[in-house]
């Protein structure tokens, strides 16, 4: 198992029943998985703890940082039960929702979420069972809503409810999430994926609880969050385009342009962005994806996403390792395409008027001009390396850091190959270390040039102020 991936975009693989043993997880890593997702909507704490133990042992064995993401469940909005467990709704009929916990029928059912009634207005849409049932609100108050069935069909107990475009007075962190979060932090997870984000304040609430022990991924799965897109990106550490939930609350044809808008906004802000959900969905049961799925993954890579994600494909599917290997091949093929660099360079943010941004932008330009083999960044907090990643340089970014936590988190970032190492004591020590590591890890050959960025004095977070060209 080599240290280096021969690509820039990263792969997030979800662990589950099909990928829980040490042998299975090792095979996923060897096939190309960089970040491993623990889905806290499923599984017990003991299951997740065992997976963390396996991953940390694999990291120790390979000497390569491995990022662990915990994905919190978030609030689950569901209807109540029916007298016979199931009803049939017909278009044009009226159907009421209320707070009465009595079993429902084809006229009404309990919706035990007063927050929804407070947010509703006549004319609003309500979606049940992943959007299969569509209702239009005719009238409503704080305890009930009368609706017309627009799209009918069968409906059974405790199906999910979506309220498109409504801002609900709900915290993204339920009591279960808070317990899970504490457990995950105690296990040493690197990233916390936060579900049900609606506004920037939701990030602040989670950040206070996390208290610097992990970094945050805001899952954008509600159209209401898009109204606050820039503010959410500013508050979070990374973003996930959760297309499954977005696709329920938005028209399907609106999801692709929304995906591109989110990816572009994250790239301009220098925040890692993951494209997720149904990327190789058919590989849950088939050994090869559809051509449309291959094109979907490729599109995310062409757009410059930091990572693409597998969910059920690697967690519960019949071909978890093949799914990762296929995604690895798609990314590698796209990044060899001459058009890839043209598309990538077409979206390029303007550096902020700061010394760190000026140094990082110059590093990319210098690396191109002199034909450098790599850009080497020294970082404590990770900010120097994330700036380099935002530039999307045509050469690998080698991140040297004395912080194991920083190395693990930076695994997610585009083009970044983190290497934990001892602290450097002097400028000459820094240059010698950069030369030795690029040679050892196969990023450069003898006499190749490398571009080095760092902050002096060493150990000062965010103080990128040095650019150096060195020969290996």
Catalytic residues, which ones? Answer: 37, 78, 219, 277
* Contact by Cβ (8 Å): 445, 373: yes
Q: What separation, in Å, do the N-terminal and C-terminal C-alpha atoms of the chain show?
A: 24
Q: In angstroms, rounded to a whole number, what is the distance separating the alpha carbons of residues 361 and 376?
A: 13
Task: Check: CB of residue 127 under 8 Å from CB of residue 162.
Answer: yes
Q: What 3-state class would DSSP assign to 288?
A: coil
DSSP assignment of 162-216: E-TT---S--S--HHHHHHHHHHHHHT-SEEEEPS--SHHHHHHHHHHHTTSSEE
Kindly state the tokens that stand for 226: 């898009």
**Dist CA 64 CA 229 (whole Å):** 34
Question: d(Cα 441, Cα 419) in Å, to the nearest integer?
Answer: 9
User: Tokens 């792969």 correspond to what residue?
Assistant: 11
Residue 261 phi, psi (nearest 5): -65, -45
Phi, psi of 105 (to 5 degrees): -145, -160
* Closest by CA position to 269, among listed 308, 301, 247, 239: 239
In the block, which residue shows the tokens 């902050």? 455
């Amino acid at each position: 198992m080599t240290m280096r991936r021969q690509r820039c975009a990263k792969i997030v693989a979800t662990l589950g029943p099909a990928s829980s043993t040490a042998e299975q997880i090792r095979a996923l890593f060897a096939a190309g998985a960089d970040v491993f997702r623990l889905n806290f909507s499923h599984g017990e704490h003991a299951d997740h703890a065992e997976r963390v133990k396996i991953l940390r042992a694999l990291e120790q064995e390979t000497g390569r940082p491995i990022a662990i993401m915990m994905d919190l469940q978030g609030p689950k909005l569901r209807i109540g039960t029916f007298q016979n467990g199931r009803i049939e709704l017909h278009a044009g009929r009226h159907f009421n929702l209320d707070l009465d916990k009595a079993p429902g029928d084809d006229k009404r059912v309990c919706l035990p979420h007063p927050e929804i009634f407070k947010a509703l207005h006549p004319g609003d849409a309500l979606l049940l069972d992943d959007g299969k049932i569509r209702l239009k609100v005719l009238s409503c108050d704080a305890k009930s809503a009368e609706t017309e069935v627009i799209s009918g069909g069968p409906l059974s107990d405790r199906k999910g409810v979506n309220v498109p475009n409504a801002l609900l007075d709900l915290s993204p962190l339920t009591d279960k999430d808070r317990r899970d979060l504490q457990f995950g932090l105690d296990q040493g997870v690197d990233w916390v994926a936060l579900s049900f984000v609606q506004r920037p304040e939701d990030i602040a609430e989670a950040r206070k609880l996390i208290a610097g022990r992990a970094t945050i991924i805001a899952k954008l799965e509600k159209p209401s969050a898009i109204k606050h897109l820039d503010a959410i990106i500013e508050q979070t550490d990374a973003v996930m385009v959760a297309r499954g939930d977005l696709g329920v609350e938005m028209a399907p044809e609106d999801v692709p342009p929304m995906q591109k808008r989110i990816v572009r906004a994250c790239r301009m802000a220098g925040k890692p962005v993951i494209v997720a959900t149904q990327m190789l969905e058919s590989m849950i049961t088939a050994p090869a994806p559809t051509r449309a799925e291959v094109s979907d993954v490729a599109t995310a890579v062409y757009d410059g996403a930091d990572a693409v994600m597998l969910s059920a494909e690697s967690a519960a599917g019949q071909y978890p390792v093949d799914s990762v290997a296929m995604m690895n091949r798609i990314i590698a093929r796209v990044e060899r395409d001459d058009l890839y660099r043209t598309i990538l360079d077409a979206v390029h943010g303007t550096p902020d008027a700061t010394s760190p941004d000026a140094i990082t932008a110059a590093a990319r330009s210098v690396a191109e001009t002199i034909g450098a083999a790599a850009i080497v960044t020294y970082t404590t907090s990770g900010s120097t390396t994330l700036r380099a990643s935002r530039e999307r340089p045509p050469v690998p970014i080698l991140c040297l850091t004395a912080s194991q936590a920083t190395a693990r988190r930076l695994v997610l970032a585009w083009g970044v190959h983190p290497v934990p190492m001892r602290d450097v004591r002097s400028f000459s020590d820094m240059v010698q270390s950069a030369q030795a590591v690029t040679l050892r890890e196969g990023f450069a050959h003898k006499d190749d040039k490398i571009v080095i960025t760092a902050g002096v004095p060493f150990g000062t977070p965010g103080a990128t102020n040095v650019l150096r060209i060195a020969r290996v």
